[in-house]
Amino acid sequence: MGKCSCCSPAKPVIITYGKYSYENGNYYLGNLLNNTPHGKGILYLKNNEIKYDGDFVNGKKEGNGKYFYEDKEMFVMENNKKFYFMKGDFYTGQWRNDYMNGQGIIYLNNGKIKYKGDFVDDKFEGYGQYNFESGGYYIGQFLNDLQHGNGKLYDKNGNIMIEGNFINDHLDGNGKIYNPNGEYFIGQFKEGKIHGKGKSYTKNGDIFLKVNILIIKKKELENIILKTVFMELYLLQIIKCMVEVKYI
């Protein structure tokens, strides 16, 4: 009588411990499955420095792990300039299919957190907090490493400066700007500029100015762009730069 193949016992998965060498001189020490990194292990550079310490699945980083940056290996845009990650900076968090995917934290080599939040394929995407060199920070939605969606910008003392909808690092749609003296502006924005209707309020919540800003001369544009780094130009100073302000 023949034996049913479906009843045959599954072959045991044999995990071994050993070394796996890469063509570029880097090497791995840890758990292996079929001579491939699988399980817990450490990836070393050819100079014996640790590059990654964590989980692997079928030769790829997957699970939880810690990744160490090289000088200028990666960068993000900050205040229209490239912010490079340097030697000693590292990421710790979740991985999938060899990429940072899920929740994680990037630490700088001075111990400070640069970013904490969601990642998709090595990029900030989802909800997170990004800390600027100035000491200020942004909390909100990200897409493709950019502030994108609802978010808030704070100064280094934790005071809220701007809140609203962001598109590609610029306030776009409805937003609110706070003046340090307690006054604030609520209105419409486009590509980081006041565009459309808005109202200025005193710190007590009383309206003291209504505007409808639609036309701005090109040469004045640079003076009123609201960058996603903390502004030194607040609402009253901004309005003085406007060429056409329609009072309602």
Lowest mean pLDDT of 16-20, 43-47, 87-91, 190-194, name the range. Answer: 190-194
Nearest to 175 by CA among 152, 147, 202: 152
For the cut 60, the answer to whether the pLDDT of residue 222 exceeds it is: no
3-state secondary structure of 228: coil
Q: For 130-142, give one letter per residue: b (16+ CB within 10 A) or e.
A: bbbeeebbbbbbb
The closest of 119, 125, 140, 124 to 76, measured between CA atoms, is 124
Segment 108-140, tens digit of pLDDT: 999 999 999 999 999 999 999 999 998 999 999
The string of pLDDT tens digits covering residues 158-195 is 999 999 999 999 899 999 999 888 888 899 888 888 88
Least confident of 7-21, 84-98, 215-229: 215-229
Task: Count the alpha carbons within 13 Å of 78 in the hemisphere toward its beta carbon.
Answer: 18
